[in-house]
Structure 1
Amino acid sequence: MFRRFLLTAAAFTATYAPANAQTFSEALAASKPILESRLRSETNDQAGLQKAEALTWRNRIGFQSGEFNKLKLLVEFEDVRALKDDYNSGINGKTTFAGVGDPEGTELNRLQLTWTPNKAATFIAGRQRIVLDDGRFVGNSGWRQDEQTFDALRGDFKHGKWAVTYAYVSKVNRTAAETADWDSDSHLINVAYAYSPALKVQVYDYALDFEGAPANSTNTLGARLSGEKTLSGVKLTYAANYASQKDYGNNPADFDLNSFSFDGGLTHGIATLRVGYESLEGNGVRGFITPIASNHGFRGWADAFSTAGNKTMPAGLVDRNVGIVLTPESPVTFLKKPVLTLIYREFETETTGLAVGSEWDAMATTDLTKNLSLMLKYADFERDGPPMPASRTKVWVALEYKL
């Protein structure tokens, strides 16, 4: 894929290179550097395993070029180091420890050429970040130190209230360095109509076919309604989603599963109250999965039910949750824009209604400077009993710098 991409990029450059070198120099001079650094401590105290203690440091460096003949080039490298590695990364062989999904590695994170011929269309070729809607089905898994990117050709088109995204994905660069990437022959399409701020209607079809990971080859067809409205000083937000999922491509199984979710919020002053519901159907053998989603943001931060890589509940899963988000005034000048979040979740199986467990999630974030932020985060999942996923408690402390 990338050999072809580099040849294509070179051809574009040769075709569109101007006779006046100064014009090209001005485009290079307009380039913006990419510099990100995230130092994070993560502990995972999981029943039946040694407590995991990880201190990882993720750095990204690269640049976004200025525009030249409606073309832009982005190059970004990523490196993850483990300063303390008493954890099972999935590839380091430390299987007696609980898991922390941040293996060491250095790789090309993004290499993309963007062409914007007009205001209505944008095309991106190469290794890129793709997040559609809230990341529930397609996302970059940005919570992990090694984010998920895609080798893809993407087009975005806009006309009036209409917006269409199509992408062909030839490879999924997953979050375990380069050891668990998937070769892909997948198509993503998302069509949206923004009727008003209170109503946005979307339909989508994500046809995923993975060589070497056939159990994750699925076709997910669905619709999403979302919007917001302010009444008497109270802001109301909502998002409702329904999807049907079938076997696709080289998947040897035969299944037809559904999912439904709803998230609603009411904001007044510094407080936002949120309620959520998600139902993922199971057929006794497998459940509804989201193999290329940003799964950490759904079904609890303890990641007991992440559906990436076909990790799923055969009897399905129902997640009922309620939470509060506060954005208070900072009591001290060096803590800027603090945000406090608290969520409670209860889980049960979708097909049989058996209690699975409950979870408390809490997080505090604040900016320390324009470029530096601090995060404290906690997740505690307590299972109802065997054979449900093991109980676990996770704690994170992170400093992140973004230029």
Structure 2
Amino acid sequence: MNNRIRILLTTTAAVAALGVAAGARAEDTISEAIGASKPIFESSLRSESVDQFGFAEKAEALTWRNRFGFTTGEYEGWKAIVEVDSVEALTEDYNSTLNGKTTFPNVVDPEVTEINRAQLSWAATETTTLTVGRQRIILDDARFIGNVGWRQDEQTYDAIRLDTMLGPVKVTGAYVGRVNRIQGDDKDWKSNSYLVNASYSVNEALKFTAFNYSFDFETTATAPTAADIANAKLSSVSTTGLRAYGGAWVSAFKLNYVAQYAGQSPSGKNPAADFTLHETMLEGSATWDIYTFKVNYEILEGNGTQGFVTPLGTVHAFEGWADVFAAVGGNKTHPNGIKDLSYNLTVAGHTKPWAPWFMNPTLSVIYHDFQTDRLGQDIGTEWDAVLTAGITKNLSLMLKYADFERANPTMPASRTKTWIMLQYKL
């Protein structure tokens, strides 16, 4: 598959090169582009409490993330983004996985200051863009490739990325040389990985996406632990899949669906015996007025020693906010696989008179029922709830809660998590 990916990337580069003239903007100057730069500033103050079975201590984390930088204007299709993340722990009664406070439950928000993005992009044509450098990559719904944006220090990629249109097909191809993970430099991965994602729209009711993600990882830690080495290698997999999705109005209801199927096998330096595991996901939702009800059923297969993994995915949004699978049986999985049936009710009250004090308040409540794919064992159940609201145009408030109750002592530990967050975006 890697050779086909390299051919696709080379072809896309040729398409980009052919469009240089069309993409040039001779009327721009470098000084005008610099003068047109816009600042980036985000500030996130977050309290996270974790009460987890097996720990005498309750984790209490108060972290403050500031993200600042700038985006330049365009010069002949060229544009740059430079951005820095700085995360400070105002209280540190928690295990960041780096601070050695192992008597507390995990809150994976270590203190870190690093370059979050440093990218240069070139719009060769109206339909072709090349992006080089440290960048944010989110494909589809971030199930397989995302930025893990819930954590204070997001996941970014040192990569070369091409986005183009090949007739009616939108194609993204990327080579990733490093994964800048959420725990800072010492937990990052060296990468020799290829991403290909191609989508085609028949109409609003029927769209398709095909993808192949071939991962090959090694830890970058200067003094790696056995877990660092094993986690990177076991996350080296090749995943190929197909996604169909769309929506339509039926009377006063907006109906949407997603159907997804993917296969996975070891890749790169993965030491596991040859395996083939699959992911199947079906989702349907209906929106009426301010109410949206969604049902999602996902199966991640497992063979008893290895589960289907999504090492670059934003798992928090899919497998429950309590993050019970983040470190079980490998990377973000369970060795016997996971069956997750969830129900989600969202109420957006921005048009209603009962929400006069806040801007765009939204309430979501989610219920998960987890079982293993292999052996059909009950894992547990989880309730999640979140309320978000704008205080001003730039300042928002989030209240969030997760409660996972395990089915028996062999499963991940029961826990509750509570968040209070204030976020400012320029």
With normalisation by structure 2, the TM-score equals: 0.88
In the TM superposition, residue 69 of structure 1 has moved relative to its aligned partner by 1.5
**Separation in 1, partners of 2:144, 2:392:** 33
1:391 aligns with 2:414: yes
1:249 aligns with 2:268: yes
1:114 aligns with 2:121: yes
**Separation in 2, partners of 1:138, 1:321:** 21
Amino acid at match of 1:124: T
- Give 1:12-31 correspondences, 5 Å limit: 23-31=29-37
Amino acid at match of 2:388: T
Does the Cα contact within 8 Å between 1:359 and 1:381 map onto a contact in 2? yes
- Residue 232 of structure 1: aligned partner: 251
1:315 aligns with 2:322: no
In the TM superposition, residue 117 of structure 1 has moved relative to its aligned partner by 1.2
Does the Cα contact within 8 Å between 1:295 and 1:307 map onto a contact in 2? no
Identity level (%): 52
With normalisation by structure 1, the TM-score equals: 0.93
**Separation in 1, partners of 2:176, 2:319:** 26
- Residue 324 of structure 2: aligned partner: 304
The match for 1:73 among 80, 100, 117 is 80
In the TM superposition, residue 26 of structure 1 has moved relative to its aligned partner by 1.2
Superimposed CA distance per residue, residues 192-215 of structure 1 (whole angstroms, 9 cap, x where no aligned partner) = 001111111011000000023211
**Residues 307, 157 of structure 1: alpha-carbon distance in 2 compared, 3 angstrom cutoff:** farther
Moved over 4 A (4+): none
**Residues 160, 270 of structure 1: alpha-carbon distance in 2 compared, 3 angstrom cutoff:** farther
- Residue 219 of structure 1: aligned partner: 238
- Residue 111 of structure 2: aligned partner: 104
Amino acid at match of 2:259: A
* Partner secondary structure for residue 31 of structure 2: helix
The match for 1:185 among 192, 195, 200 is 192
Where do 5+ consecutive residues of structure 1 fail to align?
Answer: 1-17
- Residue 38 of structure 1: aligned partner: 44
Does the Cα contact within 8 Å between 1:330 and 1:336 map onto a contact in 2? no
Amino acid at match of 1:220: T
In the TM superposition, residue 28 of structure 1 has moved relative to its aligned partner by 0.8
In the TM superposition, residue 307 of structure 1 has moved relative to its aligned partner by 7.0
In the TM superposition, residue 330 of structure 1 has moved relative to its aligned partner by 5.4
- Give 1:91-170 correspondences, 5 Å limit: 91-159=98-166, 161-170=168-177
Where do 5+ consecutive residues of structure 2 fail to align?
Answer: 1-23, 220-231
- Residue 337 of structure 1: aligned partner: 360
- Residue 271 of structure 1: aligned partner: 291
Does the Cα contact within 8 Å between 2:28 and 2:76 map onto a contact in 1? no
**Separation in 1, partners of 2:353, 2:183:** 37
**Separation in 1, partners of 2:96, 2:286:** 39
Superimposed CA distance per residue, residues 36-80 of structure 1 (whole angstroms, 9 cap, x where no aligned partner) = 000000001000112100000000110000001110010000100
**Separation in 1, partners of 2:246, 2:27:** 48
In the TM superposition, residue 161 of structure 1 has moved relative to its aligned partner by 3.2
In the TM superposition, residue 281 of structure 1 has moved relative to its aligned partner by 0.3
- Residue 380 of structure 2: aligned partner: 357
Does the Cα contact within 8 Å between 2:85 and 2:114 map onto a contact in 1? yes
Does the Cα contact within 8 Å between 2:210 and 2:241 map onto a contact in 1? yes
In the TM superposition, residue 160 of structure 1 has moved relative to its aligned partner by 5.0
Superimposed CA distance per residue, residues 10-43 of structure 1 (whole angstroms, 9 cap, x where no aligned partner) = xxxxxxxx9x999322111100100000000000
Instruction: Tell me the matched-pair count.
Output: 385
Amino acid at match of 2:319: R
